[in-house]
A and B are shown apart, each in its own frame.
Chain A
Amino acid sequence: GIQVEQSPPDLILQEGANSTLRCNFSDSVNNLQWFHQNPWGQLINLFYIPSGTKQNGRLSATTVATERYSLLYISSSQTTDSGVYFCAPTLSGSARQLTFGSGTQLTVLP
């Protein structure tokens, strides 16, 4: 099956700093989502981004499907951004199930 690698595995930032999280995947995909898992375990949709760039407030994401990677940018980080960020593509031709990466654990310090 598709391999999904996220980097870095852990990231510690001072409040106000910017960061870039990366997701590499091994096969053609027809969908990709980014999630934030909060401390209560909930998976919060951030982006549905099979290709191109999207922005939502301080967050933006870019997927370059032809080169098999996606990036999540967090600007002016806040303590509430802490948690685990997962990238999850859908393999082309599948029943649309998501394959999750191992995540990036982000800690934003006040």
Chain B
Amino acid sequence: EPEVTQTPSHQVTQMGQEVILRCVPISNHLYFYWYRQILGQKVEFLVSFYNNEISEKSEIFDDQFSVERPDGSNFTLKIRSTKLEDSAMYFCASTQGTQFFGPGTRLTVL
């Protein structure tokens, strides 16, 4: 069964450093998303991406965040200068109806 994959599974970084989280959505899906989940809290929407551009973004998705689809398979989330409060699980999802989620990347900012 097709699945969404994410790398790395765990990323530890120093405050102020840039991180890039990577996702490979399901191949025939057209809508892609990033969500995050701070430990013990609910899952929050960050950004949606369709037709090679951002279609919607939340208040969380400020200028420190960017997304890119550099080729036909990868979908990336970049955080330019990480803060302590960026520590969370980041999920990528894709859809053609039902949204399927990747296993997540746990980001720890020290």
Q: Identify the A interface with B (CB < 8 A).
A: 31, 33, 35, 41-43, 45, 48, 86, 88, 94-103
Tell me which of B35, B55, B100 contacts A45 (CB under 8 A). Answer: B100
For the complex formed, measure the closest distance between the CB of A24 and the CB atoms of chain B, giving whole angstroms: 15
B101 CB contacts on chain A under 8 angstroms: 35, 42-43, 45
Q: Is the beta-carbon distance between A97 and B33 smaller than 8 angstroms?
A: yes
Number of contacts between A and B (CB, 8 Å)? Answer: 54
Contact of A94 with B98 in the complex, beta carbons under 8 Å: no
Q: Which of B35, B43, B55, B98 contacts A95 (CB 8 A)?
A: B55
- Within the assembled complex, what's the spacing in Å between the Cα atoms of A54 and B80? 43
What residues on B are CB-neighbors of A88 within 8 Å? Answer: 43
State the majority secondary structure of interface residues on B.
strand
Tell me the bound Cα distance from A100 to B45 in angstroms: 8
Q: Which residue of A lies closest to B33 (CB)?
A: A97
- Give the interface residue-count category, chain B: 20 to 34
CB pair B42 A97 closer than 8 Å: no
Which residues from chain B contact A35 at a C-beta distance below 8 Å? Answer: 101
Q: Does B44 contact A (CB under 8 A)?
A: yes
Give me 15 other A-B pairs in contact (C-beta within 8 A), A96-B48, A101-B42 excluded. A35-B101, A41-B37, A42-B103, A45-B99, A48-B98, A86-B42, A88-B43, A96-B31, A96-B95, A97-B48, A98-B35, A98-B99, A100-B42, A100-B43, A103-B42
